[in-house]
Amino acid sequence: MRDRGEFLFTSESVSEGHPDKVADRISDTVVDAYLAADPYARVACETLVTTNRIILAGEVRGPETITKEYLAHLARMAVQDIGYDQEGFSWRDADIAVHLHAQSAHIAVGVDAAGNKDEGAGDQGIMFGYACSETPALMPAPIYYSHLVLRRISELRRAADSQVKGLLPDAKSQVTLKYVGGKPVGATSVVVSIQHEPGFTPASVKEMIRPIVTAALPDGWMPKDEDFYVNPTGIFEIGGPDGDCGLTGRKIIVDTYGGAAPHGGGAFSGKDPTKVDRSAAYVCRYLAKNVVAAGLAEKCTLQLSYAIGVSQPLSLYVDLHGTAKDVDEAKLETTLRELVNLSPRGIREHLQLNRPIYVPTAAFGHFGRTPDEELGTFTWEKTDLVPSLKSAFNR
């Protein structure tokens, strides 16, 4: 996000029932199944969902106990958990095809550790991480509040005594914030589109959603009524994969920073942690967040680059956007390399990524979440490097 005195900036989020997120959820379910059976399994799973059809494809290397029938069952259970039991897309009778095959031996040679060779990156590419002081989670405010709106709707929809009975899984939100002096000061518009059962009007859905959005935003941030749009196209009964085809990895900006920071282009879901598209993006966020949490800057963008089969990154770049507090960026780059081994193996071990922890990342963003010590999820959101960073820069 370019620094200006006064401007508007918008980010969107999509719910766990959005077709692309259904695909992400199923792909990450496959990743977790393999990692639960073998922490060093390899998975690259793509999922397509459409009207009563689910197709899995990709490459795997893991225990033969993970059968195609078992994966089809897990996909069905994922759809059930999301909440789809509709005529056009139901966990009960959707046709599921599993086309996963063995990982390429040529890729395996480059990635696997052997003799004196450390484990190499699973592909070439560039990855970015970002953090800023706009929200308690050190995330850009537009994506933070877009996620929060949908997460609260999802929680209410799933509650036994649901206050939003009749709302269905497919939903999108969009929040536009006004910035003054580089800081967010309020929402100029909010858009929520959400699937519902027959019998609702846009006005009735709007009144159901209004208190949820008001509670999610800071006091005084709610826009004027004419700038609060709920189901602006009208009736939204046909949704989910029945209304639109979904594919793994099509919501990478929703998954990251809502467009407020660069993105390397690689998707996360469906990939085991040897794939640096995923693990290196996580460590980039981890490093950037710790820099901001340590008070070294108000904003931090960090980039890593890798070559397939090569263990150490080819480059590490840090940009503090002119918000550095007596911090030399070149020294910071050196310090971060000293604090964390940025090889694929080093990242996996430092963040403890070889575990079945990925299903919770499939909706509401991979970043800005709360680490769960018991489940081992979102370890890249920890700020345990803060003491070392403060010491290195005499804070």
- Mean local confidence (pLDDT), 121-150: 95
Q: Read off the pLDDT of residues 36-48 as tens digits, 9 standing for 90 and up.
A: 999 999 999 999 9
- Mean local confidence (pLDDT), 334-354: 97
- Whether pLDDT at 1 is above 80: no
Q: Read off the pLDDT of residues 171-219 as tens digits, 9 standing for 90 and up.
A: 999 999 999 999 999 999 999 999 999 999 999 999 999 999 999 999 9
- Mean local confidence (pLDDT), 263-289: 96
- Mean local confidence (pLDDT), 70-79: 98
Q: What is the pLDDT of residue 109?
A: 54
Phi and psi, residue 364, nearest 5° = 70, 25
- Mean local confidence (pLDDT), 69-95: 97
Structural domains of the chain ordered from first start: 6-13+141-239 (3.30.300.10), 19-111 (3.30.300.10), 125-133+276-392 (3.30.300.10)
| CA distances in angstroms from 337 to 32, 101, 332, 347, listed in the order given | 29, 36, 9, 11
Q: What's the 3-state SS for the chain?
A: CCCCCEEEEEEEEECCCCHHHHHHHHHHHHHHHHHHHCCCCEEEEEEEEECCEEEEEEEEECCCCCCHHHHHHHHHHHHHHHCCEECCEECCCCEEEEEEEECCHHHHHHHCCECCECCCECCCEEEEEEEECCCCCCCCHHHHHHHHHHHHHHHHHHCCCCCCCCEEEEEEEEEEEEEECCEEEEEEEEEEEEEECCCCCHHHHHHHHHHHHHHHCCCCCCCCHHHEEECCCCCCCCCHHHHCCEECCCCHHHHCCCCCCCCCCCCCCCECCCCHHHHHHHHHHHHHHHHHHCCCCCEEEEEEEECECCCCCCEEEEECCCCCCCCCHHHHHHHHHHHCCCCHHHHHHHHCCCCCCCHHHHCCCCCCCCCECCCCECHHHCCCCHHHHHHHCCC
Q: What is the pLDDT of residue 395?
A: 84
Q: What is the pLDDT of residue 33?
A: 98
- Whether pLDDT at 312 is above 70: yes
Give the HSE-up count for residue 73: Cα atoms under 13 Å, Cβ half-sphere. 6
pLDDT higher at 309 or 210: 210
Phi and psi, residue 7, nearest 5° = -165, 170
- Mean local confidence (pLDDT), 28-53: 97
Strands of the sheet containing 42-50, edge to edge, are: 95-102, 53-61, 42-50, 246-247
Please, which pLDDT band fits residue 111 given cuts at 50, 70 and 90?
low
State percent of the chain over pLDDT 70.
Answer: 95
- Whether pLDDT at 21 is above 80: yes
Please, which pLDDT band fits residue 2 given cuts at 50, 70 and 90?
low
Q: What is the pLDDT of residue 325?
A: 81
- Whether pLDDT at 116 is above 50: no
- Whether pLDDT at 359 is above 60: yes
Strands of the sheet containing 6-14, edge to edge, are: 6-14, 167-180, 183-196, 228-230
Q: What is the pLDDT of residue 248?
A: 98
Q: What is the pLDDT of residue 3?
A: 62
Q: What is the pLDDT of residue 155?
A: 94
- Whether pLDDT at 309 is above 90: no
Q: What is the pLDDT of residue 123?
A: 80
Q: In angstroms, rounded to a whole number, what is the distance separating the alpha carbons of residues 141 and 117? A: 43
- Mean local confidence (pLDDT), 64-72: 96
Please, which pLDDT band fits residue 103 given cuts at 50, 70 and 90?
confident
